Structure 1
């Protein structure tokens, strides 16, 4: 597949890295020569210095042969025009744009990105996607990562196995025998820096991070089984009243009115604006690094501090300080991957990588076959994938134990007629089933083949 990526920043680099590893023909465009030099030196991609919306630059990048353009520059308008030019002049079939400004995405302007107006097939809003991720983390205390699939009925939880975890040193098949009515399957294990797909004979050890696919109605019980009994936060302090902070606070006000929210915002004008828009939240003007401001926010009695400023250092230091002052838990937004490696040693309970969230949203539309959702874990070492089974799929009809699944793949759930099915060796996949599975990066292309439309389908 020929793909053009406009923007060689962190997100553009991440997408280019994934697509190049999978053997795609990738061209990257950016106005900064240093970024193009860096990406072409480290990845098997072609680079072009120039403006991503200019026709001659797109032409040099091979737009006339491109299957897809992914516009992820820092500027919404450049992304939109790049897609328009790619459509009008070069007939590029699939156009994806990152759009940050919420005014473009307002429901009353939903026709803006239609084929007749601005022909963009997919818009990705990082702030909204990250905001939703923050809300999911708040809803499932004890999980270090949370993603929903299949009309929100299937949930993937990343759960750390603590010393008092009841399920350690027990074979996974025994867990199924001990808890036959628990709709949950361990699909991946991250241990000592290595990610693996377990078999039924494998065991969980203390310190493991288990990727568990479960029924939405069984999430609390699953977390409890892994030794996590944390209660949902009733008092939350949000550091940062920007787009993400406001989105999170507004959603909590609308859906969890009993939760007390306090926001710390360093910009006075923004603090006033946010205070006017929210009904019940208390907004404090000041820095999340100011101990007096934290005390004014009653941080010693808070259940959770969520650090969502656009500065990693403030997020990290502010959340560490908040815990020192008595806050029970913290959740931190971290952009720089180099900081993410030592969060645990600093006392950070959970963190969110905005780049990973955005890349996962884009990969969903890059994947071939009937792929409905994708979420990358452990810096792209594996993906949790939701795919629709077609009549021609080799998965359909036979018991799973007789199916030749690719190495590095484990099926976590089947969603059929609004019902969760925990798979075992006797389970048969039917056409139109949604299959949620865990696949290591090297197995993803085999998964795509399993769910591609065969010529027999027509």
Structure 2
């Protein structure tokens, strides 16, 4: 695919990097000379210096033959303008990054597609939604919902209390036959190797395992793994950033008791005026004495979403030391993911990764409805819609020539999530959730064309 990215900032560069690994033809446009030089030196892509809203610059980038144009500059006005111009100049599909979530909430009413914008994304809104899901599924380290929870991905590390440690997948299935979850990916303790579990795969203590669960599966999984289901009621948020604001607003609207710490006096008063149900405290959340004064030990969860990743991580560690059960940190550096898990932070949020996941489904072949990359694993989780022409249609799973490094985690049929095993017959219109290692993605895509 030929892809044009307008904006060489954090999200744009990260997208360009991931897409270049996929052997896509990438053109990156920006006015900043240094950002482009860095991208040019580190990535196998084409860079164009100039205003991405310039028709001449877009034509120089061969917009008329582009498959996808993505506007991810820091200005939503520029992003929208780029997409409108690109579509008029011949681009097949456009995606605009925006910060005003009203646009997303009313996109059907406004009809952005009529202007030439196929999709709107807000990394901040995606991060706020991810945080809310992490609180909802507080017993797990990694979460993702398909079709508003019809199927849910849940990731956790197996302790010795897990009842199926030491057993094979097949043995566990025989002992616990009426379960509503299935393992789809495993990373052995102390390794970077991701494996797709088969019947003879043995669960081991310390494994990081990703499961797909249908209704009731999360509760069963907690019971069998020794995890405690914790209800989150009181939440403390560090940082009045866009993500902090959106998270505080959404959680307070849903009945959570929310405290928000913001160092800037002006910003603190602004948030307090807009969010009357949130207790806003003008203080430095890095100060341990302040955290004690604000009764951090009584909080069920601590969410650090300030502008500095290191501060977010350290604040979460302080919260954990004070007995807070759930900690969530916003981190910008992808290298922090593994490190932070190893030192005890429960959930990590990365805006760039969330935005990339949201955009990547347009890169994949077949009717990809949703996708996410598994944290710290060399695997993707994709939701495909089965068409009448799909090779997988009207076949039993056991009779499908599926790649060994991929697995069907579940099927959503008429809005209901189902754990699909070998005797399950795939039908047209089904939405199939597949976990696959990167090397098998092309083989999986062919089954859904």
Distance 2:311 2:23 in 1: 39
Q: Given the alignment of the two structures, is residue 324 of structure 1 paired with residue 328 of structure 2, yes or no?
A: no
Aligned residues: 447
Query: 1:288·1:314 contact (CA, 8 Å) conserved in 2?
Result: no
Instruction: Identify the residue that residue 45 of structure 1 maps to in structure 2.
Output: 45
Instruction: Identify the residue that residue 198 of structure 1 maps to in structure 2.
Output: 197
Query: 2:395·2:427 contact (CA, 8 Å) conserved in 1?
Result: no
Q: Given the alignment of the two structures, is residue 422 of structure 1 paired with residue 410 of structure 2, yes or no?
A: no
Distance 1:80 1:208 in 2: 44
Q: CA deviation at 1:105?
A: 4.5
Gaps of 5+ in 1: 453-458
Distance 1:81 1:4 in 2: 14
SS in 2 for 1:216: coil
Q: Given the alignment of the two structures, is residue 107 of structure 1 paired with residue 112 of structure 2, yes or no?
A: no
Residues 77-116 of structure 1: pairs in structure 2 closer than 5 A: 77-88=77-88, 90-102=89-101, 104-105=103-104, 107=106, 110-111=109-110, 113-115=112-114
Instruction: Identify the residue that residue 455 of structure 1 maps to in structure 2.
Output: none
The answer to which of 323-332 and 119-128 deviates more is 323-332
Distance 1:79 1:197 in 2: 39
Distance 2:383 2:405 in 1: 16
Instruction: Identify the residue that residue 26 of structure 2 maps to in structure 1.
Output: 26
Q: Given the alignment of the two structures, is residue 159 of structure 1 paired with residue 156 of structure 2, yes or no?
A: yes
Q: 2:281 aligns with which of 262, 281, 284?
A: 284
Q: CA deviation at 1:398?
A: 2.5
Instruction: Identify the residue that residue 7 of structure 1 maps to in structure 2.
Output: 7
Query: 1:237·1:297 contact (CA, 8 Å) conserved in 2?
Result: no
Query: 2:76·2:97 contact (CA, 8 Å) conserved in 1?
Result: yes
Distance 2:250 2:100 in 1: 18
Distance 2:301 2:86 in 1: 45
SS in 1 for 2:423: coil
Gaps of 5+ in 2: none
Q: CA deviation at 1:167?
A: 2.0
Residues 182-193 of structure 1: pairs in structure 2 closer than 5 A: 182-191=179-188, 192-193=191-192
Query: 2:138·2:326 contact (CA, 8 Å) conserved in 1?
Result: no
Query: 2:70·2:94 contact (CA, 8 Å) conserved in 1?
Result: yes
Q: CA deviation at 1:220?
A: 1.9
Deviation per residue, 1:333-390 (Å, 9 max, x gap): 1111233232134432221112111111111223221111011123672211111111
Distance 2:107 2:366 in 1: 32
SS in 2 for 1:17: helix
Shift in alpha-carbon separation, 1:330–1:409, aligned structure 2, 3 A: same
Give the TM-score normalised by the residue count of structure 1. 0.92
Q: Given the alignment of the two structures, is residue 376 of structure 1 paired with residue 385 of structure 2, yes or no?
A: no
Q: Given the alignment of the two structures, is residue 177 of structure 1 paired with residue 174 of structure 2, yes or no?
A: yes
CA-based RMSD: 2.0
Distance 2:27 2:298 in 1: 52
Q: CA deviation at 1:133?
A: 0.3
Q: 2:264 aligns with which of 238, 263, 267?
A: 267
SS in 1 for 2:141: strand
Shift in alpha-carbon separation, 1:436–1:105, aligned structure 2, 3 A: closer
Q: CA deviation at 1:108?
A: 8.9
Distance 2:193 2:39 in 1: 26
